[in-house]
Amino acid sequence: MLAAGHMATGAAHQTKFLLEESQLPRRWYNIRADMPTAPQPVLHPGTGQPVGPDDLAPLFPMALIQQEVSEEPEIAIPDEVLGILSLWRPTPLHRARRLEEAVGTRSRIFYKYEGVSPPGSHKPNTAVAQAYYNKQEGRTRLATETGAGQWGSALAFACRLIGLECKVYMVKISYEQKPSRRSMIQAWGAQIVPSPSEDTQSGRAVLAEHPDSPGSLGIAISEAVEDAAGREDTAYSLGSVLNHVLLHQTVIGQEALAQMELAGAFPDVVIGCVGGGSNFAGLAFPFLREKIAGRDIDVLACEPAACPTLTRGVFAYDFGDTSKLTPLVAMHTLGHDFVPAPIHAGGLRYHGVAPLISQLVRDGLVRAEAYLQNDVFASALVFAGSEGILPAPEAAHAIHGALQVARAADDAGEERTILFNLSGHGHFDMSAYDDYLAGKLQDVALDEDEINRALHAIEGLPTPA
């Protein structure tokens, strides 16, 4: 094993580190088996007692419920899922040489590029698995929410290939900002409506009170859960937050471990952006396995200052959605009725975060930073101008995080080996770039009063141990 930061000469001039299709990981890595502190139980909102598999059965297939609570360190990936993942996986790992030159850093920067999937992000890694298990257990239709549209297109794609119907509730602000995502979802045969919608009780309730609501992930989740709970043929599918979703994403980090070895390097710092937490977990969990075993790695989660769940939220039991339909989970939260400002990283506008990541932050294994969107877009353009790829605004938070780490190291006269997850491309986010280039992007400084107001929503809920 090479020391951190040491480059093997053979790989010294290489830009991309690629794996053969046969090297696609055959198993998902389950971090629950290695966590120093077990995550808190998920509670039934009516009884306050831990939920059992039967409580979740109306919403999810049993195979996914079992993965949700599994403590096995590894779970085999079904062949049919591997067959579809191999359409684009393994994804490339790049050494960002031109970015390093552009910013003049002494550090080495690597990125794992998930934008090569057909829908353009990491999201199909779990969409395909979820569609597969639902089909296996006889469901014919899935309902889901989508923020930026990446998840909705990933699930529409997966349902199309596996053979399921799909209905997508898309957060209204993104529905308006991203007409092409809408078309992509429809091209894969899914039905799509802006959320809040007239199609559900939850949607109608929000519209009655706030006819101009820009929507939020919390509201859209309520609509999709209500849809699934009301129909036998339909299950609910979530693109982030839950343990099984994070599990499915761990193909990213497992590939990256092998690719860093090809590069003759090992990261000192591993970075991802965090909305619900799935792409971050996908890259970071296999490296955290090494960290928990004693290796020194700084693991950094990057979030927007307009929705600073990990940096300014509280660790508490809260609902995953606005209408309080989901079970209670212990996580960092801003309160379930917090509606984040309509910033352009729509996929990061979520009031909570994955319970597994919250626990890892509490245990000091992961740290978090929050950034303003104008700073994030400035870094996105430095990246696009050197590496060529136009990043999704969500992924640009990880780029910004990597550049901050590199700058701090340069200031301290040190060098680091930095690895970040480029979770998607931004080809459907050009209106965001238009606004940035026209100087029209607002930086939202969330004040303490607004956070305190939103946190009233969780008063009276159970307190985590």
Ligand X SMILES: Cc1ncc(COP(=O)(O)O)c(C=O)c1O
Window of 158-166, 184-192, 255-263, 392-400 that interacts with ligand X by CB under 6 A: 392-400
User: Shortest Cβ distance from residue 434 to ligand X (Å)?
Assistant: 18
User: Shortest Cβ distance from residue 47 to ligand X (Å)?
Assistant: 29
Total number of residues binding ligand X (CB under 6 A)?
Answer: 21
Name the DSSP letter for residue 347: G
Q: Where are the beta strands (DSSP E) in 96-186?
A: 108-113, 141-146, 165-171
φ and ψ at 214, to 5 degrees?
A: -75, -5
Site for ligand X in 212-271 (CB under 6 A): 240
Q: What is the three-class DSSP state of 420?
A: strand
Window of 27-35, 75-83, 205-213, 276-284 that interacts with ligand X by CB under 6 A: 276-284
Minimal CB distance to ligand X: which residue? 347
Query: Counting contacts by CB under 6 A, is residue 392 touching ligand X?
Result: yes
Burial class (CB in 10 A: 0-12, 13-18, 19+), 322: buried
Q: Which residues does 431 contact at the CB level (< 8 Å), separation at least 6?
A: 177, 178
Window of 35-43, 62-70, 132-140, 388-396 that interacts with ligand X by CB under 6 A: 388-396
**With respect to ligand X, which residue has the nearer C-beta, 263 or 300?**
300
User: Shortest Cβ distance from residue 423 to ligand X (Å)?
Assistant: 3
Distance between CA 257 and CA 254 in Å, rounded?
A: 5
Distance between CA 267 and CA 18 in Å, rounded?
A: 17
The bridge status of strand 328-333 relative to strand 314-319 is: antiparallel
Name the DSSP letter for residue 438: T
* Encoded tokens for 299: 């693991």
Query: Counting contacts by CB under 6 A, is residue 304 touching ligand X?
Result: no
User: Shortest Cβ distance from residue 332 to ligand X (Å)?
Assistant: 13
User: Contact, 395 vs 421, CB < 8 A?
Assistant: yes
* Encoded tokens for 463: 């307190």
User: Shortest Cβ distance from residue 239 to ligand X (Å)?
Assistant: 6
Distance between CA 308 and CA 316 in Å, rounded?
A: 15
Q: Binding mask 114-133 vs ligand X (x if CB under 6 A, - otherwise)?
A: -------x------------
**With respect to ligand X, which residue has the nearer C-beta, 108 or 214?**
214
Angle, helices 179-187/150-162, rounded to nearest 10 degrees: 10
User: Shortest Cβ distance from residue 347 to ligand X (Å)?
Assistant: 2
User: Shortest Cβ distance from residue 392 to ligand X (Å)?
Assistant: 4
**With respect to ligand X, which residue has the nearer C-beta, 105 or 243?**
243
Query: Counting contacts by CB under 6 A, is residue 203 touching ligand X?
Result: no
Query: Counting contacts by CB under 6 A, is residue 401 touching ligand X?
Result: no
User: Contact, 150 vs 347, CB < 8 A?
Assistant: yes
**With respect to ligand X, which residue has the nearer C-beta, 134 or 278?**
278
Query: Counting contacts by CB under 6 A, is residue 423 touching ligand X?
Result: yes
**With respect to ligand X, which residue has the nearer C-beta, 265 or 422?**
422
**With respect to ligand X, which residue has the nearer C-beta, 135 or 425?**
425
Candidates 277, 352, 401, 464; binder of ligand X (CB under 6 A) is: 277
Window of 69-77, 331-339, 391-399, 448-456 that interacts with ligand X by CB under 6 A: 391-399
User: Shortest Cβ distance from residue 233 to ligand X (Å)?
Assistant: 26
Distance between CA 327 and CA 391 in Å, rounded?
A: 34
Query: Counting contacts by CB under 6 A, is residue 274 touching ligand X?
Result: yes
Site for ligand X in 133-162 (CB under 6 A): 147-148, 150-151
User: Shortest Cβ distance from residue 449 to ligand X (Å)?
Assistant: 27
User: Shortest Cβ distance from residue 346 to ligand X (Å)?
Assistant: 7
Distance between CA 149 and CA 174 in Å, rounded?
A: 7
* Encoded tokens for 216: 């939020």
The bridge status of strand 234-236 relative to strand 269-273 is: unpaired
Name the DSSP letter for residue 457: G
φ and ψ at 110, to 5 degrees?
A: -120, 150
Q: Binding mask 328-367 vs ligand X (x if CB under 6 A, - otherwise)?
A: -------------------xx-------------------
Candidates 202, 234, 279, 373; binder of ligand X (CB under 6 A) is: 279
**With respect to ligand X, which residue has the nearer C-beta, 129 or 461?**
129
Burial class (CB in 10 A: 0-12, 13-18, 19+), 163: exposed
User: Shortest Cβ distance from residue 148 to ligand X (Å)?
Assistant: 4
Burial class (CB in 10 A: 0-12, 13-18, 19+), 70: middle
Query: Counting contacts by CB under 6 A, is residue 376 touching ligand X?
Result: no
Distance between CA 133 and CA 140 in Å, rounded?
A: 11
Instruction: Establish whether the linkage from the previous residue to 90 is cis, with ω within 30° of 0.
Output: yes
Q: Which residues does 138 contact at the CB level (< 8 Å), separation at least 6?
A: none
Binding residues vs ligand X (CB under 6 A):
121, 147-148, 150-151, 240, 273-280, 347-348, 392, 394-395, 423-424
